[in-house]
Amino acid sequence: MNLSIKALKTDRQWRSATGLDHQRFAKLLGWFEQSYRQIYDKSIEERQAECPDEPALST
């Protein structure tokens, strides 16, 4: 079972997996990324690079 959003191609797949179409999901993701940066002052990728342990969730 592939759980990556990269595998989602159609609006039906997007709505089935996320409850949103691709455009709305991208907009929501932008808000989450912005909030994460405000809280931690870094992106997720930057924080993972600093972590000595392998992350449990890579995406």
Contacts for 40 with CB less than 8 Å, ≥ 6 apart: 47
> What per-residue confidence (pLDDT) applies to 49?
85
Residue 30 CB: number of other CB atoms within 10 A?
10
pTM, whole model, 2 decimals? 0.68
Task: Say how many CA atoms lie within 13 Å of 3 toward its Cβ.
Answer: 3
Structure confidence by residue, pLDDT tens digits, 12-53: 999 999 999 999 999 999 999 999 999 999 988 888 888 888
